[in-house]
Amino acid sequence: DKLAAEGVKFTQAYANGPECTPSRTAILTGRHPQRPGGLECPLGTGNVGRYDDAIRLREQNDLGLPPRMAVLAPGLKQAGYRTALIGKWHLGYEPKFNPLDQGFDRFFGILGGNVDYYRHIELSDLPVFMDGRSPVTREGYMTDMFRDEAVKFVRQQDSQKPFFLFLSFTAPHFPFQPPGTPDEPMPTAEAWTKGTRANYVKMIENMDAATGAVMAALKDTGADENTLVVFASDHGAMAPGSNAPWRDFKETLFEGGIRTPVLARWPTKLKAGTTDDRPWMLMDLTASFLKLAGTTAPDGRPLDCHPVLVDVIEGHETPPRDLFWRARRGERTWRAVRSGNLKWIAKEDSGSPAEEWLFDLATDPTETTDVKTTRSDEVSR
């Protein structure tokens, strides 16, 4: 609420996928998450590929984000920024995919998608909690550990040198373990994804407080006024969370799966307490950050995104464009397009009839009325 009051609240921002790995790929590459291959859905626990292309790459020990395709951190680094990734990675277990080879000077966090918040292990035998390139063993609640590392990084920065911090909390991802319960046993595989609404809320409150601690560190170091802070989620919530009023949850391309809360705060550049309803995607952060830093993608190739935050700062309209999604897992494939206020969605799954929807988000933002039969020309387009 404080970030929204002091910055801009975006009401029609979208993740590039309905799960974490594709969205993170898009942010770090500035391109659609299909380009690297194998990253259209999260890497399975223990470094498992979950659809044909991912399985093929895993068999070759190539399932992850190739460092040559990362442009955000390398681009900022070439512009003189000190860079850090603290928290969740989930873009490759293999050592060759380590964030330190993707433009980050500092990495402290987990390689996989979800770990026990107290024991810092996942349901596999692989070491996943890392400090740089080395597995690390520390005591503490994981959200608090990421908070402390982020605060330390902020306080260590030279006021004359810019920095980029990608703070990637896992909360409120399962396992749904609230703070203050270190003696509770590790969840079984059957209970790993199950949790209560009360614990979910406690995890969010703890993350909220951790965010406040980082903001306080920025203020204490004098970096507050000249630091752009963006708060976002890489997909919609899963139960026991809620995406109301948006339809459905994570793993789908309905609004509940991909519409994401985004807040941006920069006291010297962004007008406080404003709301912005232009449609855009998380990969647009890449173009925005690079342009604001006065640099470009180091590989010299065009990006798939647009510097939306620059438009907001400079008071420009963002050119209209169609937004595209594809999400694969196993034999299931989702596809979606948003063109203006119309949104088309299709789902194909082995053994089930193909499904298709068309919604007018201008009059039906909660996607309750399928208009494909009355607007067949738009479905064809």
Q: Which residues are catalytic?
A: 20, 90
The answer to whether 357 and 378 have CB atoms below 8 angstroms apart is no
Structure tokens at 350: 């082995």
Q: How far apart are CA 71 and CA 183, in angstroms?
A: 42
What is the distance, to the nearest Å, from the Cα of residue 147 to the centroid of all Cα atoms in its chain? 17
Per DSSP, what are the bridge partners of residue 346?
335, 356
Q: How far apart are the first and last CA of the chain?
A: 40
Question: Following CA atoms 366, 371, 375, 378 in sequence, which dihedral angle do they give, to the nearest 10 degrees?
Answer: 40
- Residue 56 phi/psi, 5-degree rounding, is -60, -45
DSSP 302: P
The answer to whether 100 and 107 have CB atoms below 8 angstroms apart is yes
Coil, strand or helix at 2: helix
Q: How far apart are CA 154 and CA 348, in angstroms?
A: 46
Q: How far apart are CA 247 and CA 358, in angstroms?
A: 14
Angle between helices 142-156 and 197-220 in degrees, nearest 10:
10
Beta-strand (E) ranges in the chain?
8-10, 13-14, 82-88, 106-110, 129-131, 134-135, 163-168, 229-232, 262-265, 274-276, 280-281, 323-329, 332-339, 342-349, 352-360
**Is the bond into 240 cis (omega within 30 degrees of 0)?**
yes
Angle between helices 20-29 and 284-292 in degrees, nearest 10:
30
Sign of CA dihedral 296, 301, 305, 306: positive
The answer to whether 243 and 252 have CB atoms below 8 angstroms apart is no
